[in-house]
Structure 1
Amino acid sequence: MNAFAWSAFAANLGWAAATALAVMLSTFAVALAQGMHRVVDVAWGAAFVAVALVTFVLSAGHGDPARRVLVTGLTVVWGLRLAAHIARRGSGHGEDPRYEAMTARASGNRNLYALRMIYLLLGSLVWLVSLPVQAAQYTPAPLSALAWAGTGVWAVGLFFETVGDAQLARFKADPAHRGRIMDRGLWRYTRHPNYFGDFCVWWGLFLVACDAGWQPAAASVLSPLAMGLLLIKGSGKRLLERHMATRPGWPAYVARTSGFFPRPPRGRG
């Protein structure tokens, strides 16, 4: 029988919300002890790992074992890589300017404002974006070609994230590049290879979920749509480019380089 386990999936939604909340509240406690909120960026990837693992345990007996292992493994690899990268990048640095600016707007207690506007908001987004990871594990349908195509899209995304992050880290490590625009490697083809990679990762996971039928697809389609909006119109590309706009060479870089989806640079760039 290949029916989607709606009742078990509905219960999992509650457990996933509780898991994401627990990760974010624990991170909030760590942030208070450290005196800065940038640690929440590390918790973003870790929270997806936690939700995937909790769902894997709870979905036993409901979903196809191969699909459960696949989607959990893909999420764990992506989430742990992202968390480790952000932890290394932020080591030895003070508070993130984004969070300084955000908490400066608080009319009352800054930490309570941060709890509402950063931690609880990100916890809600983890729950929403992780819907394909949850839904994929509650259908007994066997893996099909679409699931492997989704895995391929996920792999493209992981490649862009991993390579793009490594290239940027090497570029920034050279003092001669201080204040310059990174326009090499994958950054020649898109101004945001890491965000494009994230986009592919979550559309890939959605394909792994929806190859099992319309039920998991309907239950999780909001995830890649929400992630796409966040990356392109929300706190990703838009905010970063606003920060970068004052750097020398930025207008020329924008003129020759795609804003999101990779393509050959225009002109001689």
Structure 2
Amino acid sequence: MNLAGLLVNLRITAGAVLVVMLIALGVAIARGRHDGVDTVWGLGFAVIAVVGLIVSGSGWLVTALTVAWGVRLAVYIQLRNGRRPEDPRYVALMKRVTGNPHWYAFRKIYLVQGVIMWFVSWPVQAAQYETSPGPLTWLGVVVWAVGIGFESVGDWQLSRFKADPANKGRIMDRGLWRYTRHPNYFGDACVWWGLYLVACQHWIGALTVLSPLVMTFFLTRGTGKAMTERAMAGRPGYAEYVQRTSGFFPLPPKPEGTR
């Protein structure tokens, strides 16, 4: 692995992330809402992967995996958010503005997400400097495939459920949602552990383990599972759903009345 080249790559992709986030902020100012940054989350990883591919001249496999995941997620979120008003998270955040609102939004939303995005992408960038695929490469591809399958199918099932007026006010507990309350977040975690395994073909790639750990933390303890469950806590039937359904890893549902 070319360590010097990887370090140069990290600096260039940091600049690319800054440009992406500044463009996202400009679009948000023009639109008058900030939830577009959720779409940029997936697209940003795709940009990092493509820039890394151009700089490194290698890593087609890991680039393709990252772009496929990022573009799918971005399209799904954009279609979902396009039918909704502004995300309450960003409404609440912007109510706490001190000073220039655009500078405040950049610091509190775009810069934070950009730094996290860049750090989480380290395994992808490391894998782009590996020239010899091996067993861990293909194991990583399998884990990635399981992850994007769970995420894609879970999102599709939830979208169909919500589109049916008969399901208004009901809890989604069908399909993959019968085995885990968060098939989308579980799938997301698998994707990033799969990409990390691809990077682990070289010991330098293995050192990027904090990247999937950070992603998993946000999915389980931060803006993913934990935030979703706080928002759902008061919904009728949700407490019973929690009792019988695994919180993250897919497991057979518990029989009714058990804890």
TM-score bracket, shorter-length normalisation: over 0.9
Q: TM-score under structure 1 normalisation?
A: 0.93
2:243 to 252, 255, 259: 255
Does residue 130 (structure 1) correspond to residue 130 (structure 2)? The answer is no
Whole-Å separation in 1 of the counterparts to 2:3 and 2:25: 33
Whole-Å separation in 1 of the counterparts to 2:211 and 2:31: 32
Does residue 230 (structure 1) correspond to residue 227 (structure 2)? The answer is no
Does residue 71 (structure 1) correspond to residue 62 (structure 2)? The answer is yes
Letter paired with 1:196: F
Letter paired with 2:166: A
State the shift of 1:268 in Å.
Answer: 4.2
State the shift of 1:86 in Å.
Answer: 0.6
2:21 to 19, 24, 34: 24
Contact 1:12–1:134 (8 Å) recurs in 2 = yes
CA RMSD between the two structures: 1.2
In structure 2, stretches of 5+ residues that fail to align are none
Contact 1:159–1:197 (8 Å) recurs in 2 = yes
| Number of residues of Structure 1 aligned to a counterpart in Structure 2 | 257
Aligned positions of 1:2-21 closer than 5 A: 4-21=1-18
Contact 1:131–1:223 (8 Å) recurs in 2 = yes
Whole-Å separation in 1 of the counterparts to 2:216 and 2:84: 29
Show the counterpart of 2:227. Answer: 239
Q: TM-score under structure 2 normalisation?
A: 0.96
Aligned positions of 1:1-269 closer than 5 A: 4-60=1-57, 65=58, 68-140=59-131, 142-211=132-201, 213-218=202-207, 220-268=208-256
Letter paired with 1:92: R
Higher alpha-carbon deviation: 256-265 or 105-114 = 105-114
Question: Identity percentage over the alignment?
Answer: 55
State the shift of 1:92 in Å.
Answer: 3.2
Contact 1:158–1:201 (8 Å) recurs in 2 = yes
Contact 1:104–1:110 (8 Å) recurs in 2 = no
In structure 1, stretches of 5+ residues that fail to align are none
